[in-house]
């Protein structure tokens, strides 16, 4: 049964903003530094939701704990920081959804695994930060999604009850975190979606094809 929702929390990359061009660009720039050809954008885009781990993993076939991974990750983040807003944009339809949430008196905020200083730069540059009630980054608490703590911290700062919150995200970890926090969960079908389980198997309370679908789910005009 759908509970009354008074606050909506959003993931950032792949949910509110399309940052794939800049993240993929940084990955290919790093590959060029190592003498490798660029990978197709279509191959890199699905992994954007996994952040630096996903980008470095796909670009170099390494994972945390492997030799050289930490150096590659650090260089990737340095390259990305130089191009945060070159091509990153707010997804079509997002502004009108946020306008309507605010018009109806619902609070909203952002919870991302992106490092807070990078998330802050992106959201400030795109005009989201000044309107969001809260911004929680991947290093704002001792845990990252799929742990529920970042979402619970957002609720504490907003003085919101998790049971009256919905979390919207484009990655399985978003849905896992939202469910663990006791929130309603909505899968953003316009996002990056990863390369694991298909979106309809994530266990979300609803699947949204477009941002405007959130308004219909909330029964807002």
pLDDT digits (tens, 9 = 90+) for 63-91: 999 999 999 999 999 999 999 999 999 99
Task: Map out the domains of the chain as residue ranges.
Answer: 7-18+88-217, 20-81
CA distance 30 to 28: 5
The candidate with the shortest Cα–Cα distance to 91, out of 124, 118, 117, 128, is 128
Q: What is the mean pLDDT of residues 205-214?
A: 98
Percent of the chain, pLDDT > 70?
A: 100
In the chain, what are the helix, strand and coil shares in percent, each to the nearest 5?
45, 15, 45
Measured N-to-C along each axis, helices 116-126 and 69-81 cross at an angle, to the nearest 10 degrees, of 20
Strand pairing partners for 8?
108, 166
The candidate with the shortest Cα–Cα distance to 214, out of 152, 168, 163, is 168
CA distance 170 to 144: 15
Q: What is the mean pLDDT of residues 40-58?
A: 92
**What is the predicted pLDDT for the residue at 221?**
75
Q: Kindly report the number of other CB atoms within 10 A of residue 95's CB atom.
A: 16
pLDDT value at 202 more than 90 = yes
Sign, CA torsion 145/190/72/137: negative
C-beta separation of 192 from 48 below 8 A:
yes
Residue 11 among the catalytic residues? yes
Per-residue confidence band for 173, with pLDDT thresholds at 50, 70 and 90: very high
pLDDT value at 124 more than 80 = yes
Q: What angle do CA 41, 38, 138 make, to 5 degrees?
A: 60
Dmax (CA) of the chain? 54
Per-residue confidence band for 1, with pLDDT thresholds at 50, 70 and 90: low
Number of alpha carbons in the 13 Å side-chain half-sphere of residue 56: 22
Choice among 11, 18, 22, 170 that is catalytic = 11
CA distance 136 to 119: 9
Query: Is 3.50.50.60 the CATH classification of the domain at 7-18+88-217?
Result: no
Q: What is the pTM of this model?
A: 0.95
**What is the predicted pLDDT for the residue at 37?**
97
């Amino acid at each position: 049964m759908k509970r009354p929702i008074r606050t909506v929390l959003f993931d950032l990359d792949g949910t509110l903003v399309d940052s794939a061009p800049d993240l993929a660009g940084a990955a290919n720039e790093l590959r060029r530094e190592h003498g490798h050809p660029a990978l197709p954008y279509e191959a890199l885009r699905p992994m954007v939701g996994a952040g630096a781990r996903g980008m470095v993993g796909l670009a170099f076939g390494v994972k945390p704990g492997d030799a050289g991974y930490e150096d590659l990750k650090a260089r990737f983040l340095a390259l990305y920081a130089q191009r945060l807003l070159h091509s990153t944009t707010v997804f079509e339809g997002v502004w009108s959804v946020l306008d309507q949430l605010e018009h109806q008196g619902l609070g909203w905020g952002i919870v991302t695994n992106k490092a807070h200083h990078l998330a802050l730069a992106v959201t400030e540059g795109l005009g989201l930060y000044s309107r969001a009630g809260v911004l929680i980054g991947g290093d704002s608490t001792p845990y990252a999604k799929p742990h529920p703590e970042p979402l619970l911290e957002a609720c504490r700062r907003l003085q919101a009850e998790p049971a009256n919150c919905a979390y919207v995200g484009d990655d399985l970890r978003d849905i896992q975190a939202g469910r663990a926090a006791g929130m309603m969960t909505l899968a953003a079908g316009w996002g990056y979606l990863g390369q694991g389980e298909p979106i309809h198997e994530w266990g979300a309370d609803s699947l949204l094809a477009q941002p405007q679908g959130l308004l219909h789910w909330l029964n807002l005009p």
